[in-house]
Structure 1
């Protein structure tokens, strides 16, 4: 029976990653071993599960049906084993994906006490401000910031926190261009906009129960929050940032908050689950901890 669980585990990882070699690396097996395991599974079932080319692997119809059920069986087996051990003995690997700056300043500090309580649990973290292929990368939990509806509608999700957003600029920029007195004046300013996440060329402000949306002139489009802050502190324009991202530069005087009486829609922090809403005990424990902790980092 253990051979069948190994077949199932190897098949799921090959199917999700789309690569025999990648699955071999992640499972600490040789590529020939992975090929033999998949071949043995197909021979035993009497059907082709994967179509292989020199560059990629894809599922047959039979493989797609098997993948769906295999994922559920593996998740249930992991949950059964964890239940037998108890939540105080969480072990294994959790793969987390998160944006660079928010991850560094909020998520990783929040994880520290949790990992101290669970020494047998390992966390593999991927940090990027670009959207990743969560299934191919084998991600268990992706931390996402955004304004508005989530776009990963096929995944499970849970809201973790709400993060205040600010309008900021460097003193040198404000000395040269002046500070906007209301949102409509942003139309004549150089603005710095972040690709993805909550970057938009239209910024929405609330004041005295009145909403003002401004189409800004984006002099710079940047694909990371770190880059947005670097450009703002260099005096290249006005930027949106979350408070946790900008607070060090604000305290040091490298940035100043603008239009402080106006409120921007907050950035919502979500945990995304590519495998769906049915969570294993270790995944649920990590998410419960982050949900309770991230409010302190808003």
Structure 2
């Protein structure tokens, strides 16, 4: 079926574009028949960034960032120029859809729904084919930021006002061009900011992946320090437990007073033990402070 093959070409179509493509193939359907054919192979959303566009069944554009090029963008004719649209509609003149998308013809309706991928404009095509700046499809702006959507919409305004077929759009064009340049600068700043944030997150992730090795080394040093303290304490305990030989009757020159002085010259086990524990606790606290500083920087 010709209609089904169209959705093999691309998964999302606007009704105007699909109708014109079928006419180019020599196919024409009544409104009711065309709708029934579409309902068998496609569906549409009543709102959102793909509003009223026919979407191939089984394909969900909200889950595919690549669908951003098929999003809808509306062009609204400025109020001062709508009298031209009224006259144009009264004359029942109609441009080809391809000419409107290529900016060779001014849209005669107050509001025209266009599809990004069909617009023949270098800036628009460059922007929609850049990697998406967000990983979710929002109801308001789809896969693009709201700033980007506003910028692209303003680009449409500039392009269509530049081909307005009657005098009177010059001042509107100057204002639109100025606004477009401002929005474009805002989008560039937004892109730079996002790039910086991504680099910071990448650096943070790298630090986090390296940190366990440092912590392990610190823990190893702490363990060695604790083992050293324990060995010192054991040596002190052994020293304290060592008994001095008591004088035998064969050594009458060594008095008990002199022996007491000798015992008093050795450091107390309890005092040295407290000092060792105190030193160990200070070293452990110092390591904890280093870890604390690292976490606060992240």
TM-score under structure 1 normalisation?
0.22
Greater share of helix: 2
Q: Which has the higher strand share?
A: 1
TM-score (norm: length of structure 2): 0.22
Q: Which has the higher contact order (CA 8 A, sep 6+)?
A: 1
